[in-house]
Amino acid sequence: MTTDNKNLIEVRNLKKYFPIKGGILQTTVGQVKAVDDVSFSIKKGQVMGLVGESGCGKSTTGRTMLQLLKPTAGEMFYDGVDTFKLSGNELKKYRTKMQIVFQDPYSSLNPRLPIYDIIGEAMLEHNIVANREEMMNKVFELMSKCGLFPEQAGRYPHQFSGGQRQRICIARALAVDPEFVICDEAVSALDVSIQSQIINLLKDLQDDMGLTYLFISHDLSVVKFISDSVGVMYLGEIVEIGSKEQIFEHFAHPYTEALLSAAPSFDPRKRNNSNRIILQGDLPSPANPPSGCRFHTRCPLATAKCSGEVPAKYEVEPGHFVQCHFAKERFAKRAENN
Amino acid sequence: MTELSRDEVIRKSTKEDSYWRGVWRRLKQNKLAMISLFILILIVGACIFVPMFSKYSMYEVIAADANQPPSAKHLLGTDKIGRDLFVRLFYGGRVSLGIAIAVTVLETIIGVVLGSMAGFFGGIVDTIISRISEMFMCFPFLMICITLQAIFGTSIMTLITILAVLSWPSIARIVRGQILSLREMDYMEACRALGISNKRQIFKHLFPNVLAYIIVYVTLSMASVILTETSLSFLGLGVSMPTPTWGNLIQEARNLLVLQKKWWYWIPPGSAIFLTILCFNILGDGLRDAIDPKMQK
Amino acid sequence: MTEMNREPLLQVKNLKTYFHSMNGNIVKAVDDVSFEVYEGETLGIVGESGCGKSITCMSLAQLVECPPGRYEGGEILLDGKDMLKVSDAELRKMRGNVISYIFQEPMTSLNPVFKIGFQIEEVLTLHRGLSKEEAHKEAIHALDLVRIPNPERIVNEYPFELSGGMRQRVMIAMALACNPKILVADEPTTALDVTIQAQVLDLMNDLKKQLNTSILFITHDLSVIAEMADRVMVMYAGKVVELADVMTIFENPLHPYTKGLIASRPDMNTSSNRLTVIPGNVPDLSALPEGCSFGPRCGFFCEKCGKGVPELVEVEPNHWVRCYRPGGEDRDN
């Protein structure tokens, strides 16, 4: 894995608000702050995991980064260039460098097109290949790289199983030789025995082609396996971010702690674990987030301060940021106990 | 498998399993739909060829043969001034089907263009087109027909135009709805992420997916236009005599005496209308099932 | 652990549920499945999509739509009655009273046009013959039991006003309203978030202890099985491939499929660079390979496996495996 210390991706203060329309004239009566002031960076050749529950804005973050949704505010640097400022052909050029693989392998493939068209289309669009013959050869090559039989290139999506479809989606994303790929819950819809195949494929491709991933998932064990760094999102904000070890071994945000403890363990001996934190209540609506710290309605440690004051990002150790009033004390206490 | 070259394999598999081949295969399994298709072909064929080869012409009055029941000379008898009803039935079919095709084509073109614009561009374009189509749907149909015909006269052309202009909103809505839901599909999002041009998105990804629904609509619309034209002609608001259509052939039988005593006036055109509409509807349903196998129970 | 020599509450013997498709194909969704559920225990059924786990459970109360489904044989002894032979009236009485269900998608399982309270009361008046007022009180009590805050207010709300986790609690309250002997939970937490899943699983475990209900827990997620089940049944392509208590399944799995499933899952503590993989795809039930269905994906495949279908054999006490070479060694018999 190549890990020179260059940031390939840098997201600064990204915001994506969705207007809530109401009334007869469909005027904007409110906003859903799906992504609210999110910043992070990914080094070239590394994998960043983005975890959180449904509605926390992790998918919206990914889609806004690629401008599939129009960003409300913020900057997104690709190799030093702010892609949000680009348009037309300039943007089109950058489209080939950043790709996305979606969750649902069924709705991600146009049922009317044969596989070679699905994979090869963008190569022609961007003049990566000169003619159809060249395109075919590259399609074959990509298909074998992604574990598909090139002989099946003439088939249609419905003739493939879910896992194979996801391989096709990956091949399509790689057709334009991207350097950065967003995997938006790319393995969540697959069967257990297929998930591991796809995860291995993603890892192999990363090693082969030096890809950089943003791996969006709700599945902590998968994120822990594949990521170098991890961001934890709650209601549109990144509440804790750091290296994999920092997040999984010395987390400091109570939400991260609850999330980790809620994930069922793979060991039947560990059930009836009395240390398990079970959060009370449901996720508040992002249209009307709680005041102060957004987590305070469910947080076991919440005090009056939490509901009144928005906590600042605090760097508990180099590269490990936590957005919690008690981050400093909690982190110090843990270090003491160790 | 490795014996064949890859190109050959691809050509073969493409031919074997393209989407439309699948549709045709599924349609073929639906016996009722296939029978309907066959009957429709027969009817259309008869409407084209019977008037061409008949020894009578449709306006030809043979006064000596007036008001005759079916016989070897006049297969379906004659009307009160002695025109051969057999040839008029099929000529009437020509006119009725012709109007149906013309109206359907026109309304489909208007509807598809406006509907896809509304769906693809959204925003203000969508609002304007949707409001206009709602306005059109609010018009009391018969009253508008009568008024417009009074103003522009009762020619076949006016009738076609009026029907097309009044009925495009339904197909426009279908197309708009389809495009809106297709735009939400992940593969359209993937297209945008890949930087595929708008033109390609519309013609390679959106249109083929909408086409299936348009075909179903066209089939069902044929039936409804025939029915509308028939009712208008029956009311004397459609095509005027002496040009026969299925509708005004029945109109001839609009009195009790004819109904009771002269069945050959109204049973043949009535059955023709019934059969054609039934077949179009069954074929339309069959096509819908064949196109979207998930809808099938 | 429960003692095994008691009378089972539910006994399924050689159940076969087939689907006859229009083009004459027969899909053996449930093929010769036998198992028992004892009082107060949780039996976990685990498998991938299309393995027949849901159809098995739907068959218990004859919830499979027939046609295209058809019960081709077997016995389902529940509470002393053969569910496949009882009359329709009897069957309706059993559903809800003796056996009840919760499903994956709580939104589609609740009727959107009726209030929560009404839907629970309906079950109570129908099955337990309570009066309107009694049923109302009982409904509030049931919601309280599943730890819904402000049950007095929630009874007057509509399903869309509740979150996914809340709806699933309402479903559990409804399912338990008539004190069934067995609760069938078909992927009850799959649609829920991790923290909400933890709440619901915790609730189910508490209720089980409190009410001594047996649970049949269906899921594709092995970690949920590790959390919930006393015994585990692993299904593959319509057949039971392994059946044992939860410790044995996780610590000494013998069927290559179970082994593969457990090994392929990235555990929180996996440190290696690659995951172990079961090659190939989940098989299509209408075109199963000859011999052992798992054969083409199996690392221990031998000539014998391609010919005959192995029987489910008790290789050690209470540990059943359907494999010619359990654990990779040739079996003597």
Q: How far is C63 from chain A (nearest CA, A)?
A: 25
CATH number, domain C2-98+180-255: 3.40.50.300
pLDDT value at A2 more than 70: no
Look at A104 and B186 and tell me if their CB atoms are within 8 Å.
Answer: yes
> What is the reported pLDDT for B14?
52
Beta carbon pairs, A and C, within 8 Å: 129
pLDDT value at A316 more than 90: no
Identify from A110, A136, A170, A181 which residue to disrupt to test chain B contact, counting B C-beta atoms within 10 A and taking the largest count. A110
| Residue A4 confidence class, pLDDT cut points 50, 70, 90 | low
Q: How far is C149 from chain A (nearest CA, A)?
A: 9
- Integer CA distances (angstroms), C144 to B85, C180, C181, C276, in order: 80, 18, 20, 45
Which stretch of DSSP H or E encloses residue C176?
helix C164-176
**A292-312 burial, b for 16+ CB within 10 Å, e for fewer?**
bbbbbbbbeebeeebeeeebe
Lowest-confidence segment of A157-161, B82-86, C242-246 by average pLDDT: B82-86
Mean pLDDT (whole number) for C169-179: 86
B32-41 tens-digit pLDDT: 889 999 998 9
Question: What residue type is B259 in one-letter code?
Answer: L
Name the residue facing B17 among A102, A159, A176 (closest C-beta). A159
pLDDT exceeding 90 applies to what percent of chain C?
Answer: 10
SS3 A76: strand
Q: Nearest residue on chain A to C270, judged by CA atoms?
A: A225
pLDDT exceeding 70 applies to what percent of chain C?
Answer: 94
C123-135 tens-digit pLDDT: 888 888 888 888 8
Mean pLDDT (whole number) for C300-319: 83
What rounded mean pLDDT belongs to chain C? 84
Rg of chain A over Cα atoms, rounded to whole angstroms, equals 21
| Residue A87 confidence class, pLDDT cut points 50, 70, 90 | confident
| Residue A3 confidence class, pLDDT cut points 50, 70, 90 | very low
| Residue C122 confidence class, pLDDT cut points 50, 70, 90 | confident
Query: What's the token pair of residue B159?
Result: 């009738």
C66-111 tens-digit pLDDT: 778 888 888 888 888 888 888 888 888 888 888 888 888 767 788 8
- Integer CA distances (angstroms), B200 to A122, A169, C56, C315, in order: 10, 19, 47, 61
Domain boundaries, chain C: 2-98+180-255
Q: How far is C133 from chain A (nearest CA, A)?
A: 29
| Residue B109 confidence class, pLDDT cut points 50, 70, 90 | very high
A99-129 tens-digit pLDDT: 999 988 888 998 888 888 899 889 988 988 8
Which A residues in the span 112-171 are in contact with C, Cβ-Cβ below 8 Å? 161-164
Q: Which residues of A touch B196 (CB under 8 A)?
A: 121-122, 125
A33-72 tens-digit pLDDT: 889 899 999 999 899 999 988 888 899 999 999 999 999 9
Q: How far is A229 from chain B (nearest CA, A)?
A: 25
pTM: 0.82
pLDDT value at A330 more than 70: yes
ipTM: 0.82
Which stretch of DSSP H or E encloses residue C174?
helix C164-176
- Helix axes of B85-121 and B31-53: crossing angle, nearest 10 degrees: 130
Lowest-confidence segment of B113-117, C22-26, C92-96 by average pLDDT: C22-26
> What is the reported pLDDT for A273?
65
pLDDT value at A5 more than 80: no
Lowest-confidence segment of A145-149, A164-168, B218-222, C324-328 by average pLDDT: C324-328
B46-92 tens-digit pLDDT: 888 877 777 777 676 776 767 777 776 777 777 777 677 777 888 88
A170-189 tens-digit pLDDT: 999 999 999 999 999 888 88
Identify from A26, A63, A112, A180 which residue to disrupt to test chain B contact, counting B C-beta atoms within 10 A and taking the largest count. A112
pLDDT exceeding 70 applies to what percent of chain A?
Answer: 96
Domain boundaries, chain B: 2-62+72-295
> What is the reported pLDDT for B245?
80
> What is the reported pLDDT for B123?
82
CATH number, domain B2-62+72-295: 1.10.3720.10
Query: What's the token pair of residue B123?
Result: 């925003």
Domain boundaries, chain A: 14-97+178-264+276-337, 113-168
> What is the reported pLDDT for A178?
92
| Residue C268 confidence class, pLDDT cut points 50, 70, 90 | low
Look at A161 and C282 and tell me if their CB atoms are within 8 Å.
Answer: yes
The three-point CA angle C112-C117-C121 to 5° equals: 110
Q: Which of A229-238, B260-269, C189-198, C267-276 has the highest mean pLDDT?
A: A229-238
pLDDT value at C117 more than 60: yes
Identify from B2, B5, B7, B10 which residue to disrupt to test chain A contact, counting A C-beta atoms within 10 A and taking the largest count. B10
Q: Which fold has domain A14-97+178-264+276-337?
A: Rossmann fold (3.40.50)
> What is the reported pLDDT for C270?
56
Mean pLDDT (whole number) for C264-278: 73
Name the residue facing A268 among C166, C226, C281 (closest C-beta). C226
SS3 C312: strand
Contact of A265 with chain C, judged by CB distance below 8 Å, is answered with yes
| Residue B139 confidence class, pLDDT cut points 50, 70, 90 | confident
> What is the reported pLDDT for A48?
94
Give the separation between CA A158 and CA A174, rounded to whole angstroms: 21
Look at B18 and A156 and tell me if their CB atoms are within 8 Å.
Answer: yes
Nearest of A66, A96, A98, A56 to residue A255 by alpha carbon: A56
Q: How far is A326 from chain B (nearest CA, A)?
A: 41
Greater confidence, B263 or C48? C48
Cis preceding linkage at B244, omega within 30: no
> What is the reported pLDDT for C267?
67
C39 CB-contact burial (10 Å; exposed 0-12 / middle 13-18 / buried 19+): middle
